[in-house]
Amino acid sequence: MTTVIAPTSIEIEQPPELEVINMTKRFGSLVALDNVSMLIKPGTFHALLGENGAGKSTLVKCIMGFYRADQGDVLIGKHSRQIESPRDAQKYGIGMVYQHFTSVPAMTVAENLVLSRLNSPGLINWNEEYAKLNAFMANAPFQVPLDVPISQLAAGQKQKLEILKQLYLKSKILILDEPTSVLTPDEADEVLGLIREQVTAERLSVLIISHKFREVTTFADEVTVLRKGKFAGHGTVKDLTIADMAEMMMGERREPQKVAKVQQSDRLSILQVTDLHANKDNGLAAVKGVSLTVHGGEIVGIAGISGNGQKELVEVLAGQRSPISGQVLVNGEPYTATRVEMFKHKVFALPEEPLRNACVPHMSVAENMALRTFDRPPQAKGFLLILKTIRQMAQDLIQQFKVKTPSAETPIGNLSGGNVQRAVLARELSSDQINLLIAANPCFGLDFGAVEFIHGQIVEARNQGVAVLLVSEDLDELLALSDRIIVISGGQFAYESQTETADFSAISHSMAGH
């Protein structure tokens, strides 16, 4: 009997207060988190906002014990606690729900719940477990059938289960990492609404990482904003407008930085996209009827919070994804991203994550640099590869673009991220005649020097008359480089303007989907 009473008395217990004080985390020379403090009061729904790379995940991972902070303290209920691992975090009642599901698809809900307990006995008494689980479910904020295998649950139910798992583990502080990114808006509202009820009843505190202002304004009490690893603002949601929050996220209104640009006189339209539709991998619509034109000698920047369809748009243009419908014209001719068309129209691409998207990791730097040119003279003679020319060209490019590599024969996967990026840049920008360049987050995760170099190369290409489509999550980068800026939101273009006359708050608003 006592064992039954003990947990219920804990259940009524208020969640503890969680405070982070002056937390700093460095990865090598990169400061991911710089002296950030945050307070989550008991029984509040707290949102953590920030652009990609702002340090939200790093902060949360430091709290959960995945990373060890270089400096700073975590206080739980006013006591400083050392959290060395997620197991420790669980001990203090902190649980995290990840963006992606962590349940075993082939096992039932009940099995997954029991599995999630760290102290599962070697032999499981299922009758007893079921009795406990049924009792737990009776009091749970939402219901998931216990006997159904995970693989048969809908996405919303799976996400509910992830949250139930944390309640089952008696977590009092829930950390949700973009929990709704895999849900439809209705499912998202339902799940968050039910959690909100738990918070209002003071059974839980919630820290939610989100990009979506709508969710924040509907469900959260307080908000903390990070920008580039630093604390950028804090406030109660009812005192803040969306524009205020967007401004905290993106920074103060900035004058577009001038890059030495040559004015172009002839404005031939190079890339023409008409009513393009494309799906995500899971079959949901990602790009919903997008039309744009890029002229020669022009950089068109596409801004947007990640996950709004820009990745799929780039993949279609780069040949990695088939569109559902719509037309892509390059130089006025239909373009389906075959090798012949790429060569004919001189289309090049700088995709994000170059090692994953544009390189073969175990092939050599020289071979990777030859990816565009290996099948035509002088690197090939008929069907034969001329290895000497391939090596020679690679050595020239390595010098010209200052790629740091032990040799041209080193597998490119052994190089650092910045040097992989340089090698891809060398391959894509070294051609004499480029007509169209498609770049996606070309500077993501690179250090300052590399960023400056890549920006210089892109502007240089533009000045020579190349049409550039630049997709980036870094608004500063877009404002600095592009001639024209377009905002994508929910798979559609929400704002378009010449960069000189762009209205910053309108950009922020349309990025947030308002």
Partner 1 sequence: MKSWRRTLEAFCLPFGAILFGLILFGIFCAAVGQNPLAVYGSIWKAGFGNWRTFQNTLIRAAPLMLTSLCTALPARLGLVIIGNEGALIIGGLAAVSIGLVLAGSAPPLIVQVGMAIMGMIAGGLWIASAGALRHYRGVNETISSLLLNYIAIALLNHLVGGPMRDPNSLNKPSTYPLPEADMLSNIPGTRVHWGLLLGVIACVIAYFLIQRTTFGFAARTAGGNIRAARIAGLSVGKLTVIVCFLGGACAGLAGMVEVAAVQGAANESLNVGYGYGGILVAFAARHNPLAAIVMSLLVGGILASGGVLQRSFGLPDATVLVFEGLIFLVVLYSDSLYGKFPFFKEKPVMSPPPPAPSAPTPTATT
CB of 433 to partner 1, least distance (A): 16
CB of 320 to partner 1, least distance (A): 5
Cis peptide before 378 (omega within 30 of 0): yes
Closest Cα to residue 505, out of 474, 484, 475? 475
If one asks whether residue 469 binds partner 1 (CB under 8 A), the answer comes out as no
At 476 the three-state DSSP class reads helix
The answer to whether the CB of 20 falls within 8 A of the CB of 69 is no
If one asks whether residue 329 binds partner 1 (CB under 8 A), the answer comes out as no
CA atoms within 13 A on the CB side of 304: 27
Sign of CA dihedral 386, 387, 392, 397: positive
Any residues with CB less than 8 A from the CB of 475 and at least 6 apart, and which? 51, 250, 251, 303, 507
Q: Which of 84, 333, 409, 503: binder of partner 1 (CB under 8 A)?
A: 409
Q: How far apart are CA 342 and CA 336, in angstroms?
A: 9
φ, ψ for residue 506 (rounded to 5)? -65, -35
Comparing CB distances to partner 1, the nearer of 233 and 445 is 445
If one asks whether residue 385 binds partner 1 (CB under 8 A), the answer comes out as yes
If one asks whether residue 357 binds partner 1 (CB under 8 A), the answer comes out as yes
Comparing CB distances to partner 1, the nearer of 300 and 318 is 318
Sheet of 230-236: strand order equals 79-80, 71-76, 18-27, 30-40, 230-236, 222-227, 45-49, 205-209, 173-177, 94-97
Q: Which of 94, 358, 429, 454: binder of partner 1 (CB under 8 A)?
A: 358
Q: In this chain, which stretch among 114-122, 134-142, 312-320, 441-449 interacts with partner 1, using CB under 8 A?
A: 312-320
Site map 410..429 versus partner 1, x via CB under 8 A: --------------------
CB of 409 to partner 1, least distance (A): 6
If one asks whether residue 371 binds partner 1 (CB under 8 A), the answer comes out as yes
Q: For the chain, give percent helix, strand, coil, nearest 5.
A: 35, 25, 40
Q: In this chain, which stretch among 72-80, 84-92, 295-303, 337-345 interacts with partner 1, using CB under 8 A?
A: 337-345
Q: Which of 190, 341, 460, 476: binder of partner 1 (CB under 8 A)?
A: 341
| Count of residues engaged in binding partner 1, rule: CB under 8 A | 33
- Specify the residue for token string 């404002």: 479
Comparing CB distances to partner 1, the nearer of 312 and 367 is 367
Any residues with CB less than 8 A from the CB of 370 and at least 6 apart, and which? 379, 390, 393, 394, 427
Q: In this chain, which stretch among 71-79, 162-170, 368-376, 491-499 interacts with partner 1, using CB under 8 A?
A: 368-376
Residues within the interface to partner 1 (CB under 8 A): 318-320, 337-343, 349, 351, 356-363, 367, 370-372, 374-375, 380, 383-385, 387, 406, 409
